[in-house]
Chain A
Amino acid sequence: MEALLRAEKLTKHYGPVLALDNAHFEVVEGVTGLLGSNGAGKSTAIKLFLGLISPTSGSMHVLGVDASRAIEVRSRLGYMPEHDCLPGNVSAAEFLTHMAQVSGIPPSQARSRAADTLRHVGLFEERYRPIGGYSTGMKQRVKLAQALVHDPALILLDEPTAGLDPGGREEMLDLVRKTHTDFGISLMLSSHLMGDVERTCDRIIVLEDGHVVQQGDVTGFTEEIETVFVEVEERREEFMAALKARGINAEDQGTAVIIPEATEETYDEITAALVEAQAPLRRLGPRRHALSEIFDDVPAQQPVAQETAE
């Protein structure tokens, strides 16, 4: 499959600060998650691909064109910035019509596409109201809509769920997913939340301190890092011993026992160990990682990353 985005030896310095260091990765059709904590280089990578900033060294290709001098190719790209980017005194319909034209769509088509796109993101009724009066969630949808209105081949979304409540977050991720499944538009979204990426994306690229530490299919990735946590009322020592006897690697964190790299069989072993230790179970469940925890487990510059990239 032809790569939509390709980064080769991509490096970006901001003065002494290294934002991206020799990064290799590819984005193919589908929904790709760019996962990393704040300052990992996610926004930098997105801005490089959009040609908003130039790399210190290395190369990037967008839809087969060199990203640093590809003004026309941006007709087929969409971008949803992390921060505010909307006027207050214009209606969403007006704004989208204008933005479609700036992407090269003739006015006669732009107006109907604006209305259609606003319907897709669920803002059809409100489309003639000034954007200034919208809620955060509605504004976030207008931001998505403007990235979508000109029917791009690829949309880059910088932290699309930032600032949303759990309900709004679900809706946004559903919209992202639906944009791909219903219309075949590829998307790449950056996030610092494993949960967002896991349920929305087909593939994942993990950035840490400007390095690509891992990339691959989400299913493979999450299996690999699945962690189970167990809380018992008492007899924790005995439970730990029973786990160890079964060859299961567990970590006693005081209140909870953390079992990394769990598979389906691990659950059976845990149950057996609980019974054997006669430890009353309080809670047990898969652990949704905050990203920082994953990175404690995944050493930076894992050689795997380089292999998959080349």
Chain B
Amino acid sequence: MTSAVGPGTGTSNGGNREGQVFDLGYRRYDGPREGRNRARLAVYTDGLRISLGLGRGGRAKILPWLFVGIAVGIGLIFALIAGTVDRVAGEGIAEAADLPSHSDYYTATGILLFLFAAVVGPELLCPDRHNGIINLYLVRPISSIDYVIARFLAFLTVMLVVVWLPQIVLLIGLAFSASQPGDYLVDHWEDIPKFLAAGAAIAVYTTSVGLAVAAFTTRRGYASVGLVGLFLISQFAAGVLGETVTGTAGEWLGLISLSDPPLHINELVFNVEDSLNAGYAARDLPTAIRILAFFVLTAVPIGILLARYRRLSV
């Protein structure tokens, strides 16, 4: 559009879109139209912004950033404890004393990360249906499945950052509290793929369950309460059943604790036995079954989510 263009006059021969013109009012558009891919990207980016409260009032930022702050804070505390012990007691003592490190981080913060997903996740889906905004998406060049996949990937991205960032802070903290940070990283590089894998398990599982539950209600609050209830009740059931039912049946019943699947991965990756919340009996199951259980319990909610949005009626 050129500066000579007033409201109402279209231009067909002006390719100079660079010129910034203000105060024109509405005009026709003959620039690029990027269709479905632009639409998907826009829904994804919007999902990131919703998760972190960007472009929204102050209140929308409080909860997500509080969670992120606490999560990173705990990583920082881990690093400080190890660093202080090393300084005070001498090099290597922290490791020998089994002070909190990468393998313990998700054990300590699992509940917090689930809570983050339960509180923030539904915000990406529920208000759009509650306020009817979904109708505006569905009449644009995007399908309901495109929409929900874009939202899923957006929240997965946020969850990955939330679970990985504190581990990275912890890694840096541990490295710099060692006398030779370079040597520390060389000696401990294996921790990096381990925490990336364990963190990814938490991120993809909580995203999947969180959004699937959110697909059943238009109220974010109900979804959050429902998710917390689901975790607590299944934990409680797994705990009670684990004490009463013994043998193989009891081991399988340990899998019903819905706050545990990604923590199984944490235990397997770091080869520890202290991460689970309730379904302890499931530890005696073969490794392959524990891994399979994680994938099934992650895939089923994704299937439910897609099915809900495929049949979305307006």
Instruction: Please state if B24 and A102 are interface contacts (CB–CB under 8 Å).
Output: no
Q: Is B141 an interface residue when CB atoms closer than 8 A count as contact?
A: yes
Cα-based distance from A83 to B130 in the complex (angstroms): 11
> Which residue in B7, B41, B143 is a CB contact (below 8 Å) of A182?
B7
Q: Is B15 an interface residue when CB atoms closer than 8 A count as contact?
A: no
Instruction: Please state if B42 and A83 are interface contacts (CB–CB under 8 Å).
Output: no
Cα-based distance from A113 to B50 in the complex (angstroms): 22
Q: A71-B141, A87-B131, A88-B131 are in contact. Are A101 and B55 (CB under 8 A)?
A: no
A:43-86 near B, CB below 8 Å: 47, 50-53, 71-75, 77, 79, 81, 83-86
B 12-41 to A, binary, CB cutoff 8 A, 1 in contact else 0: 000001001000111111011111101101
> Which residue in B29, B35, B36, B142 is a CB contact (below 8 Å) of A151?
B29
Q: Is B139 an interface residue when CB atoms closer than 8 A count as contact?
A: yes
Instruction: Please state if A130 and B57 are interface contacts (CB–CB under 8 Å).
Output: yes
Instruction: Please state if B28 and A102 are interface contacts (CB–CB under 8 Å).
Output: no
Which residues of A sit under 8 angstroms from B136, Cβ to Cβ? 79, 81, 85, 99, 102, 146
> Which residue in A47, A81, A85, A102 is a CB contact (below 8 Å) of B140?
A102
Q: A79-B136, A87-B133 are in contact. Are A106 and B24 (CB under 8 A)?
A: no
How many whole Å from B93's CB to the nearest CB in chain A? 51
Instruction: Please state if A85 and B133 are interface contacts (CB–CB under 8 Å).
Output: yes
A:208-222 near B, CB below 8 Å: none
Q: Which of B25, B28, B142, B143 has the most CB of A within 10 A?
A: B25
Q: Is B56 an interface residue when CB atoms closer than 8 A count as contact?
A: yes
Q: Is B153 an interface residue when CB atoms closer than 8 A count as contact?
A: no
Which residues of A sit under 8 angstroms from B43, Cβ to Cβ? 102
Q: Is B135 an interface residue when CB atoms closer than 8 A count as contact?
A: yes
Cα-based distance from A74 to B28 in the complex (angstroms): 17
Cα-based distance from A11 to B136 in the complex (angstroms): 24
Cα-based distance from A32 to B20 in the complex (angstroms): 35
Q: Is B137 an interface residue when CB atoms closer than 8 A count as contact?
A: yes
Instruction: Please state if A74 and B133 are interface contacts (CB–CB under 8 Å).
Output: no
A 94-110 to B, binary, CB cutoff 8 A, 1 in contact else 0: 10001101111110010
Instruction: Please state if A102 and B137 are interface contacts (CB–CB under 8 Å).
Output: yes
Which residues of A sit under 8 angstroms from B39, Cβ to Cβ? 101-104
Which residues of A sit under 8 angstroms from B100, Cβ to Cβ? none
How many whole Å from B130's CB to the nearest CB in chain A? 9
Cα-based distance from A74 to B143 in the complex (angstroms): 11
Q: A83-B132, A99-B136 are in contact. Are A106 and B32 (CB under 8 A)?
A: yes
Instruction: Please state if A183 and B26 are interface contacts (CB–CB under 8 Å).
Output: yes
Instruction: Please state if A90 and B138 are interface contacts (CB–CB under 8 Å).
Output: no
Cα-based distance from A72 to B141 in the complex (angstroms): 5
Which residues of A sit under 8 angstroms from B31, Cβ to Cβ? 105-106, 109
Q: Is A89 an interface residue when CB atoms closer than 8 A count as contact?
A: yes
Which residues of A sit under 8 angstroms from B56, Cβ to Cβ? 89-90
Cα-based distance from A81 to B135 in the complex (angstroms): 8
Q: Is A116 an interface residue when CB atoms closer than 8 A count as contact?
A: yes
Instruction: Please state if A84 and B26 are interface contacts (CB–CB under 8 Å).
Output: no
Q: Is B88 an interface residue when CB atoms closer than 8 A count as contact?
A: no
Q: Is A176 an interface residue when CB atoms closer than 8 A count as contact?
A: no
Residue of A nearest to B27 (CB): A116
Q: A75-B141, A102-B137, A103-B39 are in contact. Are A120 and B25 (CB under 8 A)?
A: yes
How many whole Å from A188's CB to the nearest CB in chain B? 14
How many whole Å from B129's CB to the nearest CB in chain A? 11
Cα-based distance from A151 to B33 in the complex (angstroms): 10
Q: Is B90 an interface residue when CB atoms closer than 8 A count as contact?
A: no
Q: Which of A87, A91, A113 has the most CB of B within 10 A?
A: A87
Q: Is B60 an interface residue when CB atoms closer than 8 A count as contact?
A: yes
How many whole Å from B99's CB to the nearest CB in chain A? 43
How many whole Å from A41's CB to the nearest CB in chain B? 16
How many whole Å from A101's CB to the nearest CB in chain B? 4
Cα-based distance from A120 to B26 in the complex (angstroms): 6
Cα-based distance from A75 to B20 in the complex (angstroms): 24
> Which residue in A72, A81, A86, A183 is a CB contact (below 8 Å) of B8?
A183
Q: Is A24 an interface residue when CB atoms closer than 8 A count as contact?
A: no
Residue of A nearest to B314 (CB): A52
Residue of B nearest to A73 (CB): B141
Instruction: Please state if B133 and A102 are interface contacts (CB–CB under 8 Å).
Output: no
Q: A72-B35, A105-B33, A116-B26 are in contact. Are A90 and B132 (CB under 8 A)?
A: no
Residue of B nearest to A71 (CB): B141
Which residues of A sit under 8 angstroms from B34, Cβ to Cβ? 104-106
Q: Which of B32, B35, B139, B142 has the most CB of A within 10 A?
A: B139
Cα-based distance from A253 to B34 in the complex (angstroms): 61
B 90-131 to A, binary, CB cutoff 8 A, 1 in contact else 0: 000000000000000000000000000000000000010001
16 inter-chain pairs at a CB distance below 8 angstroms, sorted by A residue, are A71-B36, A72-B35, A75-B141, A77-B139, A85-B132, A99-B136, A99-B140, A102-B141, A103-B140, A104-B34, A104-B36, A113-B29, A116-B27, A119-B25, A151-B29, A184-B10
List the 8 closest A-B pairs by CB distance, nearest first: A120-B26, A101-B42, A151-B29, A85-B132, A79-B139, A182-B8, A104-B33, A104-B35
Given contacts A71-B142, A79-B136, A101-B39, 15 further A-B contacts (CB under 8 A): A51-B139, A53-B313, A81-B136, A83-B135, A85-B135, A85-B136, A87-B127, A101-B42, A102-B39, A102-B142, A109-B32, A117-B26, A130-B57, A183-B8, A183-B27
Instruction: Report which B residues bind A (CB closer than 8 A).
Output: 7-8, 10, 17, 20, 24-29, 31-36, 38-39, 41-43, 46, 55-57, 60, 127, 131-133, 135-143, 313-314
